[in-house]
A and B are shown apart, each in its own frame.
Chain A
């Protein structure tokens, strides 16, 4: 159950990093508080209950809504591709790019693509994937993974960004944030105009419309989904909601919880390729529906609520542990409280066993979760599972030791003989005491003979000697 202590200590000892995490999360906390207050949004708690109920209903009937989504995407001229793994998703894109002669694609922010190491998989086959969200672009250049679900480069300062742009792009050393942004806009604008494939994630999939909903602030998702000839959306299967009208609930919660915006700057509701009379938009539309372990999470009726998450990041901002150790000390791309409950479920509780314990169970995460996932309850449940696994492993260790001891005794005849003669005396009581009691309770031990083989042999030899 040990956390990677040295890395965490390093983060705690870095005052610049501590300040960056603290100020950024503080801003996000304050922005959210301003727009979910009783005055700003009187029915906020009703919306949370409604969101929870809609997610619950959809997840409990997931196969139905996925099939409905699929048939509506097809009805609007798009295609749906089910992918079991990240490799399958990457293989589909590689195959399509090869058939269309595409060598570069633009990408908007998608945690799902981060989860499956999408860019790395494509680059291995010389298909360049350019991140276009400013934060993601900086991280791609710096070869780092997102620090936060919503604000990926939260840990970097303007000076870090200046270093990255200078080192990776040969840019002049520029520390004014407006100028850095303008510089990135210029570089990425060219990529948007050249790319033939645009890849986006999806915040919601709408079953009754066959649509993908993408929310963002920069316009890079709009560009990625509108400028290139092909749009590919990648989404986890849990992102589906039944009806377009359910967006009244979810859009009113997502932006507020994430960045404190009643609505983010752009909300794109996309379905299929451009229609016959439309002037622009993609000619081809693909929706990649990713499993990558999600169906495993469905098996447990209580834990499947982990799949309600809409990735707003509010639980990270409010978590006293995340705010100290930061995003990179979590083992997977999903950090903070939500990461602590989904990582063990995706990767198995035997991996990173410290994770469910990295919480004071203060409950701040559950209080701010817009879809009311019972994060502390699930953390406790996962702790139980970790302890259970550990206990089983520990008894396994003792058993292994016992058999090794037996092997050593059995290969040393004098000791074996001594213990065997003692054993026949003590055998009736030994399995009923100490650690052997538990072992014995599940097994039937053979009863030792009254006479050992050696004793019998000795007496037999003695008899034959006497008779000869």
Chain B
């Protein structure tokens, strides 16, 4: 399995595979390679429930759900309005931005306190670990739950939205979908595109001590959404 093939460890795990699958088939009275049976235990086509909503209402619903979770929501008219909207947040802070073209378009990557254009994993990791804020776009957002959907790619690294104590996501309103079901109708198999799709619903939180809610345990405790209308 690891590195070289056919060693003693590899042989052991091949035996385990055959034995486990064999035990399952004996218990279920199935033959090797037999296709699934549907008579006794049917499997229906996936049922996705997608509410029909006006795009404009979706933005409002997203903002409301997002703020209920403890996030701060900004809605701006166009890309030019993004930097002024968040300048207060960025004051005296260091930030790392993802490689998303939309952030460039909004003028984020040009700001003096923003480090961007990382292509090396270790450099990115070190920069994110030291930064106060991570700035990304999103691939989609879900109105029903106030969720960011991020697919790992050359535009969006995993750690920018994870290591810094604050996360700002900036995206056009066209990225807002109704809910999880709509996302799964658009991306029926997310793994075809990426090794990692993450849904982010609110700031990092825990209630492990006395069921008392605390924000910002391992991921960002502060999250901000900036939705750009004119896109």
**Interface band, chain A:** 35 or more
- B92 beta carbon closer than 8 Å to chain A: no
Which one of A110-118, A127-135, A399-407 is at the B interface?
A127-135
Give Cα A67 to B16, complex, Å: 14
Q: Are B211 and A28 in contact (CB under 8 A)?
A: yes
Give Cα A23 to B209, complex, Å: 12
- B93 beta carbon closer than 8 Å to chain A: no
Q: Which of B125, B145, B181 contacts A280 (CB 8 A)?
A: B125
Q: Which of A79, A208, A247, A273 contacts B195 (CB 8 A)?
A: A273
Residue of A nearest to B190 (CB): A269
**Interface band, chain B:** 35 or more
Q: Are A271 and B191 in contact (CB under 8 A)?
A: yes
Q: Which of B9, B28, B208 contacts A134 (CB 8 A)?
A: B208
Q: Are B41 and A53 in contact (CB under 8 A)?
A: yes
Contact string, A156-177, partner B, CB cutoff 8 A, digits 1/0? 1110010000000000000001
Residue among B37, B48, B49, B199 with most chain A CB within 10 A = B199
Contact string, B3-40, partner A, CB cutoff 8 A, digits 1/0? 10000010011001101110111011010101111101
Least CB distance, B203 to chain A, in whole angstroms: 7
Least CB distance, B144 to chain A, in whole angstroms: 7
| 8 A Cβ contacts from A48-87 to B | 50, 53-54, 56-57, 59-67, 72, 76, 79, 81-84
Q: Are B35 and A64 in contact (CB under 8 A)?
A: yes
Residue among A66, A178, A261, A295 with most chain B CB within 10 A = A295
Q: Are B191 and A154 in contact (CB under 8 A)?
A: no
Give Cα A281 to B163, complex, Å: 13
Residue of A nearest to B122 (CB): A280
Give Cα A295 to B118, complex, Å: 47
Report if A217-B21 is in contact (Cβ < 8 Å); known contacts: A268-B198, A278-B194: no
Report if A24-B211 is in contact (Cβ < 8 Å); known contacts: A247-B184, A280-B121, A281-B152: yes
Contact string, A116-151, partner B, CB cutoff 8 A, digits 1/0? 000000000000000011110010000000000001
Least CB distance, A138 to chain B, in whole angstroms: 7
Q: Which of A53, A64, A208, A268 contacts B42 (CB 8 A)?
A: A53
Q: Are B191 and A88 in contact (CB under 8 A)?
A: no
Which one of B73-81, B107-115, B169-177, B214-222 is at the A interface?
B214-222
Report if A181-B24 is in contact (Cβ < 8 Å); known contacts: A56-B41, A64-B35, A266-B200: no
Residues in B neighbouring A151, C-beta threshold 8 A: 207-208, 211
- B103 beta carbon closer than 8 Å to chain A: no
Q: Which of B19, B36, B152 contacts A65 (CB 8 A)?
A: B36
Which one of A218-226, A351-359, A457-465 is at the B interface?
A218-226
Q: Which of A88, A138, A193, A219 contacts B125 (CB 8 A)?
A: A193
Q: Give the number of A-B contacts (CB < 8 Å).
A: 295
Q: Are B184 and A248 in contact (CB under 8 A)?
A: yes
Give Cα A153 to B212, complex, Å: 12
Give Cα A233 to B222, complex, Å: 29
| 8 A Cβ contacts from B110-150 to A | 118-121, 124-125, 129, 144-145, 147
Residues in A neighbouring B188, C-beta threshold 8 A: 243-245
Q: Which of A66, A153, A188 contacts B209 (CB 8 A)?
A: A153
Residue of B nearest to A81 (CB): B13
- A262 beta carbon closer than 8 Å to chain B: yes
Q: Are B145 and A263 in contact (CB under 8 A)?
A: yes
Least CB distance, B97 to chain A, in whole angstroms: 13
Q: Are A185 and B41 in contact (CB under 8 A)?
A: no
Residue of A nearest to B13 (CB): A81
Least CB distance, B118 to chain A, in whole angstroms: 7
- A43 beta carbon closer than 8 Å to chain B: yes
Residues in B neighbouring A347, C-beta threshold 8 A: none
- B157 beta carbon closer than 8 Å to chain A: yes
Least CB distance, B147 to chain A, in whole angstroms: 6
Sample of 13 further A-B pairs with CB below 8 A, known A275-B195, A278-B153: A63-B32, A84-B19, A92-B1, A153-B208, A209-B190, A219-B162, A237-B20, A243-B188, A262-B201, A263-B145, A278-B196, A291-B23, A295-B23
Considering the complex of A and B, which 5 residue pairs feature the smallest CB-CB distances, nearest first? A219-B219, A135-B208, A245-B46, A271-B191, A298-B27
- Complex A-B: 6 CB contacts under 8 Å: A53-B42, A83-B16, A218-B205, A223-B162, A262-B144, A266-B199
Taking Cβ atoms with an 8 Å cutoff, the residues of A that contact B are 20, 23-24, 27-28, 43, 50, 53-54, 56-57, 59-67, 72, 76, 79, 81-84, 88, 91-92, 95-96, 99, 132-135, 138, 151-154, 156-158, 161, 177-178, 180-181, 184-185, 188-189, 192-193, 206, 208-211, 217-220, 222-223, 225-227, 237, 242-249, 251-252, 259, 261-275, 277-281, 285-286, 289, 291, 295-296, 298-299, 304
